[in-house]
Amino acid sequence: MLRKLGVAAALLAGCWLLGAAEYTLSVERVGKNEPCRTGERVEFVARARVGGQPVSEGVVTFKLTNDGRDLLGCRTAPLADGEARVDFTALAPGFLWCNAEWKPDEGETKTALAAAAFSPDEIRPGQPEPADFDAFWAAGKAQAAAVELDPELSPAPELSTDTLEVYRISFANIEDTRLYGFLSIPKGQDGPFPAVLVIPGASPAANQPGGHLIEGVITLFLNVHSYEPAPIGQSSDAVQKTSYGTDAYQYINAGDKEHNFFRRAWLGMDRAVDFLLQHPQFDGRNLGVCGWSQGGGSTLALAGLNHHFTYAVANQPALCDHGAYRQGRTPGWPFFADQFNADLAVMEAVGYIDAASFAKRIQCPTVVLVGWVDGACHPGSVMAAYNNIPGEKRLVHEPEASHHWAEAYNQAIQDMLESFRHNR
């Protein structure tokens, strides 16, 4: 008997060394994951597993929300052969988020998220744009035009390759600031070339080019920040806090429409487009703009602000539909309504930097990518902007995508470059 207990103890010890059984939960919409119309019924199935095997008992809680905001329903369903199901019908346009929760007998609660899109083409911004929107930005463009560009270039051999010559670059900007970035020129190829303005996502480290320099075109990589990028491979966190006095640069002067952080950045980028237009190796015809997240919202803003662009690609754009909370939906990053408790003065001011309003003024072909379970640039806010674009446009739905740089974004950029090749 003692010997048997010893063997059992050894087996248990072996199991402990290998790690406890893994508990997993997943959830997905049943059937085709395509947009449907309001009033249609959708079904979700959650699957619970322990060590890869279906769980025979237990309960899954389903929380159904409007794009992660207003709670539309909360239901429970028993597990049977590892599955629990719930169905729901949405009566208004939006993205129904189904958040499944399961508490196994041991371990922490597991969660999973899936979504269904209901008439997303009918989503509109939650608040009207300012009546003087165009006049406000026309005055800003005139202010920026009065500033001499004063481009400063220096070689960046650490970034240059056999096919790209890369430079650090900066431009003078309003409010006695400068705008910083990188310029890359094709090397070993005969020009002239198309040009693309690239705007990265948020964070201090995003002011370095990484994989943003595009082969075969003149690339101007510009960030929203007014400080010089740190050396490649080093963080800019400390530089950002020293420059701004805060980690949350996105809220600087949020309630002041004349000095809002993004007004300065976008006017500087718009002015820097003149540098590309006048570059001796620019082909004079093909000018693109692209970006992801913060860069995606900036892309919509720049394409609406400057009609020299001939193509735009916005991947999961931020800064869209700040008034979405008025319709029970979640605004896009940086969530001004939540940060400032929907303060009326702030909400009025940020109405001038809503990418959904700029989208109404875009005149070039535009591709927008939307992640259905994107918790940063919520899909309803993205659709409010996309639906405002009046001309040629294409939407890329990513039903299972959270907030990330997807391969579909790379493909959209390649499609842009292909259109340039046909237009040379």
pLDDT score for 243: 80
- pLDDT interval class at 235 (50, 70, 90): low
The answer to whether 315 and 200 are in contact (CB under 8 A) is no
222 - beta bridge partners?
A: 181
Instruction: Please give the mean pLDDT across all residues of the chain.
Output: 91
pLDDT score for 209: 76
pLDDT score for 131: 98
Least-confidence region, from 4-18, 92-106, 142-156, 172-186:
4-18
pLDDT score for 83: 97
Residue 422 has pLDDT above 50, yes or no: yes
* Calpha distance 320→335 (Å, rounded): 9
pLDDT score for 337: 97
Q: Is 274 exposed, middle or buried (0-12, 13-18, 19+ CB in 10 A)?
A: middle
* Calpha distance 77→49 (Å, rounded): 16
Each residue of 295-316: pLDDT tens digit?
999 999 999 999 999 999 999 9
Average pLDDT value for residue range 388-392: 97
Question: Both tokens of residue 134?
Answer: 């165009």
* Calpha distance 355→322 (Å, rounded): 9
Least-confidence region, from 7-11, 19-23, 400-404:
7-11
pLDDT score for 211: 73
pLDDT score for 18: 38
How many C-beta atoms lie closer than 10 Å to residue 284's C-beta? 10
pLDDT score for 252: 95
The answer to whether 306 and 270 are in contact (CB under 8 A) is yes
* Calpha distance 411→421 (Å, rounded): 15
Residue 8 has pLDDT above 70, yes or no: no
